[in-house]
Structure 1
Amino acid sequence: MENDYDTFAEAYAAENETSLVNAYYTKPAILDLAGDVTGRRILDAGCGAGPLFEALRDRGAIVTGVDSSAKMLELARKRLGDDAELRIADISKPLPFPDGAFDDVIAALVLHYLEDWTAPLAEIRRVLKPGGRLIMAVNHPIIYKLIDPEADYFKTVKWSDEYTFAGQKAVLTYWHRPLHAMTDAFTAAGFRTAVVSEPPPAPGARERFPEELAGKTAFLSFLFFVLDAD
């Protein structure tokens, strides 16, 4: 089974607490894009062990989390408490929420696992209220080309890479798609692209990761979007 997070959930969650690309890049970038979330109803789609859920809740949001991994949700429950609204759900299938249930949907590092974005974007659009926002991050489309210089950037294609999370090896499989394919999918689903961001790492990253960030003002890893639901 591809991307079976149940098999390495604890190692992945532990690694992300302090890693450059998660703790000092993805999480702070999403929070910056979200801005003031006080009182906003937010769906954390692909919430994992709950770090973004926790941060959004601490900022006053009313957060619901979904993930397809039971083990990830178990870790999230331990982190967030028994009163946290957490459900098993797969964003490529119908979500267990009514139309217009949320002000914002966060989808951080989720859609790049899927070949077809049509159904998940339509479902996210359905559960957003008119004028709501989808705030998301996916693999930067240039990454696949950097890994395989002979690859055709303009094709939507599956690729895999091996990682070590807290000492445990895992293989993650993604779908590369060019930028225009992403924005075309957003438009077709009824979203307007408000922000495209390639952010710098968060304050403190340079002191913690001096070798990785030496001579860099930013680095290529993920691409961030804020999409408005028309």
Structure 2
Amino acid sequence: MADYDGFAEAYAAENETSLMNAWYERPAMLALAGEVTGRRILDAGCGAGPLSAALRERGAIVTGVDASAGILDLARRRLGPDADLRVADLAEPLPFPDDAFDDVVSSLVLHYLQDWGPTLAEVRRVLVPGGRFLFSVDHPMAINVMHRMNGPRPDYFATYQWSEDWTMGGHTTRLSFWNRPLHAMTDAVTAAGFRITALHEPRPVPEARELYLEDFPILDTFPSYLFFVLEAS
């Protein structure tokens, strides 16, 4: 998993207001979640807690996990000392009993993992039968096109690792991701005992158009993220 401890503050600030997060990914995730009042939700890879806060404001009972202790400290500042926040790596077993949650949400996390199998099995275990798993990842075609434009042409049908340097708050970290074709994603989730109820390729919210005059038209005409809504069978 990625190590965000070194630039937790800068990353949280970027996530709070950026076009990609505040005006694109997070609104789409909340729309897909729909009515959540009274639902027990695990925010898997919660970061500094903006999605957890929004779900809690809508009446959900939210638990958050993240691999970065530094970024969880920021989540505690936002959500309060009584918030259920735990350090946990999604590549490892989750610290919860079976059937603990009605929903699991995970924003832009699974593309850090080479093998989805163990993570999906754990998510399935902690969900009640019929519970939902909503997650977003880098859109595989968007990543593949980017790499074709900037270097050797990768095989879309392969699962391959790629890396880039992120600089925030004067700190540079090299992050690594795994790009996989759509069929590899659907095969993995169905093998783990999930039924796909929706695939979503959102647009940014229209209100962002005037704030991001250059970037909005690109994002509004070609997807950057892909969203899954799954049901635990």
TM-score grouping bracket, smaller chain normalisation: over 0.9
Kept after mapping to 2: 8 A contact 1:53/1:65: yes
Written as runs of structure 1 = structure 2, the 5 A alignment for 1:51-62 is 51-62=50-61
Written as runs of structure 1 = structure 2, the 5 A alignment for 1:69-218 is 69-149=68-148, 150-165=153-168, 168-214=171-217, 217-218=220-221
Q: Pick closer, same or farther for the CA change 1:161–1:72 going to 2, 3 Å.
A: same
Could you tell me how far apart the structure 1 residues matched to 2:7 and 2:142 are? 24
Per the TM alignment, residue 193 of structure 1 is displaced from its structure 2 partner at its CA by 0.6
Q: Pick closer, same or farther for the CA change 1:168–1:98 going to 2, 3 Å.
A: same
Could you tell me how far apart the structure 1 residues matched to 2:24 and 2:106 are? 15
TM-score of the pair, normalised by structure 1: 0.95
Per-residue CA distance 1:46-94 (angstroms, 9 max, x = gap)? 0000000000000000000000100011010011100111011111111
Could you tell me how far apart the structure 2 residues matched to 1:215 and 1:50 are? 28
Per-residue CA distance 1:21-68 (angstroms, 9 max, x = gap)? 101111101000000000000000000000000000000000000001
TM-score of the pair, normalised by structure 2: 0.94
Kept after mapping to 1: 8 A contact 2:19/2:208: yes
Helix, strand or coil: the match of 1:224? strand
Helix, strand or coil: the match of 1:148? helix
Could you tell me how far apart the structure 2 residues matched to 1:77 and 1:184 are? 36
What is the one-letter code of the residue matched to 1:190?
G
Q: Unaligned regions of 5+ residues in structure 2, if any? A: none
Amino-acid identity (%) = 62
Q: Unaligned regions of 5+ residues in structure 1, if any? A: none
Per the TM alignment, residue 166 of structure 1 is displaced from its structure 2 partner at its CA by 5.1
Aligned-residue CA RMSD (Å): 1.4
Per-residue CA distance 1:88-141 (angstroms, 9 max, x = gap)? 111111111111100000011111000000000000000000000000000100
Could you tell me how far apart the structure 1 residues matched to 2:129 and 2:51 are? 23
Helix, strand or coil: the match of 2:13? helix
What is the one-letter code of the residue matched to 1:53?
S
Per the TM alignment, residue 211 of structure 1 is displaced from its structure 2 partner at its CA by 1.1
Per the TM alignment, residue 217 of structure 1 is displaced from its structure 2 partner at its CA by 3.5
Per the TM alignment, residue 4 of structure 1 is displaced from its structure 2 partner at its CA by 1.2
What is the one-letter code of the residue matched to 2:124?
R
Q: How many residues align?
A: 229
